[in-house]
Amino acid sequence: MTWIDIAANSPFGPANLPLGIFRTGDEAPRVGAAIGDQLIDLAPLAAERLPDVAPAFTGQSLNAFLALGRPAWQATREWLLDLVGDEANRTAVEPHLIRLDAVTMLLPFEVADYVDFYASEHHASNVGRLFRPDAEPLLPNWKHLPVGYHGRAGTVVASGTDIVRPSGQRKAPADEAPTYGPSQRLDIEVELGYVVGTPSALGSRVSVDDFKDHVYGVVLVNDWSARDIQAWEYVPLGPFLGKSFATSISPWVVSLDALEAAEVPLGKQEPAVLPYLAGELTNLNITFEVRWNGQLVSSPPYQEMYWSPAQMLAHLSVNGASVRTGDLFASGTVSGAEKNQRGSFLELSWGGREPVTVNGEQRTFLEDGDEVTITGWAATPDGTRIGLGDVTGRILPAA
Amino acid sequence: MTWIDIAANSPFGPANLPLGIFRTGDEAPRVGAAIGDQLIDLAPLAAERLPDVAPAFTGQSLNAFLALGRPAWQATREWLLDLVGDEANRTAVEPHLIRLDAVTMLLPFEVADYVDFYASEHHASNVGRLFRPDAEPLLPNWKHLPVGYHGRAGTVVASGTDIVRPSGQRKAPADEAPTYGPSQRLDIEVELGYVVGTPSALGSRVSVDDFKDHVYGVVLVNDWSARDIQAWEYVPLGPFLGKSFATSISPWVVSLDALEAAEVPLGKQEPAVLPYLAGELTNLNITFEVRWNGQLVSSPPYQEMYWSPAQMLAHLSVNGASVRTGDLFASGTVSGAEKNQRGSFLELSWGGREPVTVNGEQRTFLEDGDEVTITGWAATPDGTRIGLGDVTGRILPAA
């Protein structure tokens, strides 16, 4: 409930209250909380009412806030719930409400390390069939550990950033030698990204039970992928330039506390996982929608993901690797069992062999000028939707 | 030539002048330049004599200095050469000389993104034979592009940091299922690391000719590796936990300008590379020495590396990926043709089958308490050695 006037179907209802970095005119960027089609400018309100946290709201990224840790995150959420829930706060809050269409949203946090997992069985199986048609689709390690790799943190960009078509080497199996040029198989990957707040010490581990002490919340991720570059380069050390040109994330970080009502039990894992990956594991009931030049082409379901995010973090750190404030780890492409639930165009067009009709045009991979927007929301038992906002980008011709 | 009293065989002669971050007692860390067995405390001297650069010498990392770009790097080098070369500076400089054994050296820069290449043909062939015994040792892409992948920037640590033996999943081919436990095949990798100063814009490329505009200098790198963890996890997305627990770097960053006298032509590349990788390419005449518990076990030669660092940077950015101040890209393991030139214990012990005698004890991989120190120096035509210092670390038992 809120005294603020918001649409019933708003992604940013009074139980959500995601945080982001906004800028208006010439003013310095700072932290806002979304509510309906407005945001609350937090720094001036918090200066008086939440003084311990207030300095973290004046920065140009959420990192200072993320570093405060779970007690401060929870105190902030309680404060925000009261601000929007109790009409007695109207006089104090109203001067600090700004319409979302009057601000520019920026990258919400400085990315420390970026890890990308591969946690959808449907996706991994589809890609296995397409990249290694003569072998078992899932490799022997896949059900024993959440496979992942490090991506390029410096090219994680804010939603809305134009994506220049990457160039590089590619070689079709029938070609004698590789050629150089713009990627001809430019793709998306629909993912959920987890944002680390509280660091861990080098040489220690984060157990599955401590997940929420370290991870603040989630963003939408579009892990743009150049499939022709990737297919040629990826043995034996994994994807590199096929991914590193850009990864787009949504501007609003939705807290795990807001998403608690959308938690569901993790699906069965068979064979049983090793003890360091076992526990009371949950997943999130999130649905994504992928729009290609405005047309809905896919609705991947997150709750079918094989690996839980708590397992991803436990695995990432089991060797003693430390995590830092601002670390981002993403789920890997979210694909469901059905064709209209696939989270990449590689899968949707089955390697380019089955074109997709987009506004009457035939598409396999992305063409210059194409725009892709991914939205997502978490569904809760009482019917409330916790929106994740959107992440969008348009393809510019190769430089 | 210098008026400062230094040993004839010092790695830090008057033509070297590497930069690092030091701390003495309770004072704040700041920038020093090594000369013989002392360092010059640069901030107070520069305040008067190099005021444009001086603020960059007071930080706790070299990043501010690195971000100033090549003209400032060159002006700084000219100033340092004059400080140590002209005895007229003795009175001004002597109060700011500090003995190296009286300081603690810290991580020299904040690592932005860390990329690890795989540029030694000897190493890639050896590893191919060991990891994929039934296939061609070099994969089809290897001579067409410098294969690389992203590592974990947050676990790059200063020389001298203890290395906790990592735990994780490993599965020998004969095992039914993976098991969890401390790595039993803990290894080193001798590498040269390149430190980026000047950033590039997203969507643009750094040509091979612009290498020195972006890269300031080099460090020694020990890319600690858990071979059993790596062998089980690395398909299809590359090494992850087998590497991410720690990467050690040397404290002194030696500038490319200091190393210019040690440049040699790059060896022949056959087949010819694509045009974006072609140019007037050089390599560095550097020799490493690997000491295992004090005993010299290997002397890898850098100049036999197949790929030039200018090609690594051109490749890394050819897809439009931006580089940032503090980016570190490493060469990959440096191995020569001879057994006593191999840059990893995996190769030196041929997968553990041929133990190495270390101080009378048999060794294949690292045991708890073992210490590894890598040193390196560049040789120049006039016989001067430009030392890179050393990178060292000791293995602690698994946590």
pLDDT tens-digit map of B319-366: 999 999 999 999 999 999 999 999 999 999 999 999 999 999 999 999
Judged against a pLDDT cut of 90, whether residue B168 lies above it is answered with yes
ipTM above 0.95 for this complex: yes
* B198-245 confidence digits (pLDDT tens): 999 999 999 999 999 999 999 999 999 999 999 999 999 999 999 999
Contact (CB<8Å) A399/B246: no
Interface with chain B: mutation pick from A237, A277, A316, A322, highest number of B CBs within 10 Å: A237
**Which architecture does CATH list for B114-396?**
Alpha-Beta Complex (3.90)
Q: What is the CA radius of gyration of chain A?
A: 21
The mean pLDDT value for B116-134 works out to: 94
Instruction: Quote the tokens at residue A268.
Output: 């069965």
Contact call for B178 and A274, based on CB within 8 A: yes
Q: What is the pLDDT of residues A163-201, one digit of tens each?
A: 999 999 999 888 999 999 999 999 999 999 999 999 999
- CA A3 vs. chain centroid, Å, equals 30
Q: Is there a binding annotation on residue A385? A: no
**Interatomic CA distance for residues B274 and A31, integer angstroms:** 47
Q: Supply φ then ψ for residue A54, to 5 degrees.
A: -50, -45
Is A353 one of the annotated binding-site residues? no
Give how far A48 is from chain B: nearest CA, Å: 33
- Measured between beta carbons, which residues in chain B are less than 8 angstroms from residue A161? 202
Is A230 marked as a binding-site residue?
A: yes
Place of tokens 């609003």: A252
Smallest CA-to-CA distance from B333 within B370, B304, B310, B291 is with B304
From chain B, pick out residues whose CB is under 8 angstroms from the CB of A130.
none
Rounded Cα distance, B162 and B168, in Å: 19
Of A233, A275, A316, the CB nearest to B145: A233
In this structure, are residues B145 and B109 in contact, taking their beta carbons and an 8 Å threshold? Answer: no
What CATH number should be reported for the domain whose range is B19-105?
A: 2.30.30.230
Percentage of chain B surpassing pLDDT 70? 100
d(CA A233, CA A37): 44
Which residue type sits at A128? Answer: G
- Residues from chain A that touch B238, judged by Cβ atoms under 8 A, are 149, 234, 236-239
Neighbouring CB atoms inside 10 A of B320's CB total 25
Contact A186, A346 (CB under 8 A): no
Report the sign of the C-alpha dihedral through residues B364, B366, B371, B373, in that order: positive
Contact in structure between B84 and B93 (CB atoms under 8 Å): yes
Dihedral sign for Cα A82, A88, A90, A91, please: negative
For residue A167, give the nearest of B179, B237, B319 by CB distance.
B319
- pLDDT reported for residue A376: 98
Q: A361-384: per-residue pLDDT in tens?
A: 999 999 999 999 999 999 999 999
Amino acid at B60: Q
Domain edges within chain A: 19-105, 114-396
Tell me B253's DSSP state: B
d(CA B126, CA B132): 10
Edge to edge, the sheet with strand A286-292 lists A163-164, A385-396, A371-379, A286-292, A295-298
Residue-wise pLDDT for A251-287, tens only, equals 999 999 999 999 999 999 999 999 999 999 999 999 9
Contact A367, A183 (CB under 8 A): no
Cα distance between residue A85 and residue B344, in whole Å: 62
Residue B58: predicted pLDDT: 95
Query: Which of A258, A238, A364 lies closest to B237, judged by CA?
Result: A238
Distances from the Cα of B246 to the Cαs of B38, B151, B232, in angstroms?
Answer: 29, 10, 19
- Find tokens 């990457």 and name the residue: A166
Q: What percent of chain B has pLDDT over 90?
A: 96
* Backbone torsion region of residue B234, taken as left when φ is above 0, otherwise alpha when ψ lies between -120 and 50, otherwise beta: alpha
Q: How many CA atoms lie within 13 A of B146 on its CB side?
A: 28
**Smallest CA–CA distance from A245 into chain B, residue:** B321
Instruction: Count other C-beta atoms under 10 Å from residue B356's C-beta.
Output: 18
Minimal Cα distance from A116: which residue of B? B237
Amino acid occupying residue B170: R
Name which of A381, A358, A379 is nearest A369 in CA terms.
A358
User: Is A239–B238 a contact, with Cβ atoms under 8 angstroms apart?
Assistant: yes
pLDDT of residue A368: 98
Q: How far apart are CA A74 and CA A212, in angstroms?
A: 11
Interchain pair A319, B226: CB under 8 A:
yes
